[in-house]
Structure 1
């Protein structure tokens, strides 16, 4: 009831999760990086559409590898919650790995080596922020929307 059942529902789920995530994670990481100010927030808003496109593209590209990674960790008989938690963990692990670099390049408007050389200092923070937002805010909201959609759909059938 809380998971996408077809491609259309997956697109809805992806839209909800990605929009919430990008609008929370990107400003948080930017502000931890550059300081908490109105100017930093305004500059972050300018790059959000590009970050969102990168995130959606990466979700699609990393979906199968993160699923395989999850399957290595959990047993098919494990609970729904453990399956979902490990799924979020694997998705965020792969996404944060790539977006730590790509997001810095998009935010700075240039590809250079600084994000690569600073990667291991910044990635743990980015992963932690992304995991908390995904696990506590974005995915629960999207799953609730799907749950209500499925309930409503079943009552009309």
Structure 2
């Protein structure tokens, strides 16, 4: 894919991009899913806030070590070089959210209950469909657009600095 100003163009920008998406995602998806599961009240929300730092570390590790390798291998199967930028972004987001929601539908309850058990497997499909639905909409409507907007602004600022130097 050509150099796109809405995507990171350096490792430093890649880290910033992932930080923006993961912080927004963990701070919205986790509370929504937990409250759908256990009820909407202040106690449940405060409990979610307690585990968010651990969930954030888990998400970053899963994205880096699990989702990115799987998605990078699957992308060529579903998308070609002639497909547009939006098609690539949508497919990449869909595949990444699929992998992460499967993993977090199992790991999330373990972290929330502070114990490893079979409970996440007993209601996996019910929970996974709900978790996927929440996560895909948060990613598509909030996290991804904000992160791409930040990249666009960074690249516009860099371009204006380059133009000022060349003048």
1:57 aligns with 2:61: yes
1:145 aligns with 2:120: no
Q: Select which of 124, 142, 146 maps to 2:129.
A: 124
1:66 aligns with 2:68: no
Task: Tell me which stretches of 4 or more aligned residues in structure 1 moved more than 3 Å.
Answer: none
1:115-135, CA deviations, whole angstroms, 9 ceiling, x for partnerless residues?
A: 111111100110111000001
SS of 2:69's equivalent in the other structure is: helix
Q: Quote the residue 1:82 is aligned against.
A: 87
Q: Quote the residue 2:32 is aligned against.
A: 28
SS of 1:3's equivalent in the other structure is: coil
SS of 1:126's equivalent in the other structure is: helix
Q: For this pair of structures, how many residues does the alignment match?
A: 157
Q: Quote the residue 2:103 is aligned against.
A: 98
In 2, Cα distance between the equivalents of 1:2 and 1:68? 22
Contact kept, 8 Å, 1:67 with 1:90, in 2: the verdict is no
Q: TM-score, normalised by structure 2?
A: 0.92
1:25-47, CA deviations, whole angstroms, 9 ceiling, x for partnerless residues?
A: 00000000001111110110000
Moved more, 71-80 or 140-149: 71-80
- Larger-Rg structure: 2
Q: CA RMSD in A?
A: 0.7
